[in-house]
Structure 1
Amino acid sequence: MKGTSHLFVGTAVGAIAGYAVQPDIRTALIGAAVGGISGVVPDLDTNGLASNSITLSKKVSKWLMETAGMVILLTLIYQTVIYGLSSDIYLYGGIGLLLLIVSRLITQRRMLTITGILVMLLGLVLDQSPGVLLAGSYIIIASFLPHRSYTHSILGIVFYVYILKQLYAQWPVDGLIAAGTAGYISHLFADMKLLPVNRRGVKWFLPLWKREF
């Protein structure tokens, strides 16, 4: 199923779950937003709506790194010609060359890894927020996983619910856990072989059982 479909389904079930917790429009709207986001989170293990929405594109990232690398190297050359060799030339020259090399090797998946690291750093800034730190770790782990593996399993659900509980402990928003859980699980059900649009199914019981359902 496409990412936009998962977003729509997650939004719908999230709104229902939120309203079930607290029957008012505000909670339903919060549930819709949380459910929609959670409905695409399992697909962070592939280049799709979720991962592309939270990372810079490969082209933009490559351009930024190449530009920064060239600016650093040209500045060093200019300073060397005008002022002579300095003790910092090896450090900054190495940084410039590293940026140029990485710009040639970077992939969209590794940009997702970097995004996860930045989220974890944000968690440290926010009074070492466990929920944000765990969310960053989820993104990093997902960036190295094959599609429809652990993020599409009961293990993935348990990890995600734990993240939601940690976020709720710091920011107690009605319907957060229920809507997030419902949205996440809706993704897995929508990816099952029960639907004719799915050639592949979901390995619910990884790593114990690799059968697709």
Structure 2
Amino acid sequence: MKGSSHTAIGVTVGAIAGFQVQPDLYTIAISSFVGGVSALVPDLDTNGLASNRITISKKFAQWLMQFVGIGILIAIAYQYFTKGFAPSIILYAGIGLLFFIVSRFITQRRTLTLTGVMVMWLGIVMHQSIGILLIGSYIVIASFLPHRSYTHSLLGLAFYAFILHQLQQEWAIEGLLIAGIAGYASHLVADMKLLPMNRRGVKWFAPLWNKEW
């Protein structure tokens, strides 16, 4: 199913869920947005449609890592010529060179991993937000998973529900939890093999049972 179809279904179920929580326009609007976004989250896995939308480009990732690596090396050189040699210089020089070397071999697939790491870093900056850290960890894990595997299962849904629960505690947004769960679950239902437009199904009970539904 196309991403636009998943989004439309997610917006619809999110709005319904929001209405059940609090039948006012603000809650319904927020819940619709959360449901639409959540309906795309399962496709953050490798080769998923959503993963290609949120990842930074390969060229930008290379430029960023090279910039950081060269910046570290310049800072070390400045310290060496102003304060003299210190054992820590060897460690930081190695880190700077590692950034530069890795930038030459990074692939588009690994930019999704890097995107997740950046989101985790954002969680640390934002007053150590556990919810944002968990979102970043979800992206990092998904970047190593084949398409329609664990993100398309009850295990993925449970992990996402835990993330939403944490975010709702931090942000106190009405309908966030139920709308997000509804949106995510709608993706799994829409990708089921029972529907005529799907050649493949989803492994609801992976890794315990790998039957496609």
Instruction: Give TM class, smaller chain.
Output: 0.7 to 0.9
Q: Cα distance, 1:70 vs. partner?
A: 7.9
Task: State which drifts further: 20-29 or 1-10.
Answer: 1-10
> Which residue identity does 1:131 align to in structure 2?
G
Q: Deviations over 1:153-189 (max 9, x none)?
A: 1111111111111111111111101110000000001
Instruction: Kindly indicate whether residue 81 of structure 2 is the aligned counterpart of residue 57 of structure 1.
Output: no
Q: Residues 94 and 12 (structure 1 numbering): CA distance in 2 closer, same or farther, change over 3 Å? A: same
Q: Distance in 1 between matches of 2:118 and 2:68?
A: 19
Task: State which drifts further: 64-73 or 105-114.
Answer: 64-73
Unaligned stretches of 5+ residues in structure 1: none
Q: Distance in 1 between matches of 2:29 and 2:116?
A: 27
Q: Residues 124 and 92 (structure 1 numbering): CA distance in 2 closer, same or farther, change over 3 Å? A: closer
Q: What SS does the aligned partner of 2:210 have?
A: coil
Q: Distance in 2 between matches of 1:95 and 1:133?
A: 23
Q: Cα distance, 1:115 vs. partner?
A: 1.7
Q: Aligned residue for 1:188?
A: 188
Q: Deviations over 1:17-37 (max 9, x none)?
A: 111211111111101110111
Q: Distance in 1 between matches of 2:68 and 2:136?
A: 26
Unaligned stretches of 5+ residues in structure 2: none
Q: Distance in 2 between matches of 1:45 and 1:53?
A: 12
Q: Aligned residue for 1:47?
A: 47
Taking structure 1 as the reference length, the TM-score comes to 0.83
Q: Residues 180 and 66 (structure 1 numbering): CA distance in 2 closer, same or farther, change over 3 Å? A: same
What is the aligned residue count?
206
Q: Percent same amino acid at aligned positions?
A: 64
Q: Residues 16 and 59 (structure 1 numbering): CA distance in 2 closer, same or farther, change over 3 Å? A: same
Q: Aligned residue for 1:21?
A: 21
Q: Distance in 2 between matches of 1:138 and 1:95?
A: 26
> Which residue identity does 1:35 align to in structure 2?
G
> Which residue identity does 2:106 align to in structure 1?
I
Matches within 5 A, 1:1-213: 1-65=1-65, 97-213=97-213
Q: Distance in 1 between matches of 2:72 and 2:119?
A: 27
Q: Distance in 1 between matches of 2:72 and 2:176?
A: 45
Q: Distance in 2 between matches of 1:174 and 1:197?
A: 35
Taking structure 2 as the reference length, the TM-score comes to 0.83
Q: Residues 163 and 11 (structure 1 numbering): CA distance in 2 closer, same or farther, change over 3 Å? A: same
Q: Distance in 2 between matches of 1:22 and 1:5?
A: 26
Q: Residues 92 and 136 (structure 1 numbering): CA distance in 2 closer, same or farther, change over 3 Å? A: closer
Q: Residues 99 and 57 (structure 1 numbering): CA distance in 2 closer, same or farther, change over 3 Å? A: same
Q: Cα distance, 1:129 vs. partner?
A: 2.0
Is the Cα contact below 8 Å between 1:15 and 1:28 reproduced in 2?
yes
Is the Cα contact below 8 Å between 1:165 and 1:177 reproduced in 2?
yes
Q: Cα distance, 1:100 vs. partner?
A: 4.5
Q: What SS does the aligned partner of 2:163 have?
A: helix
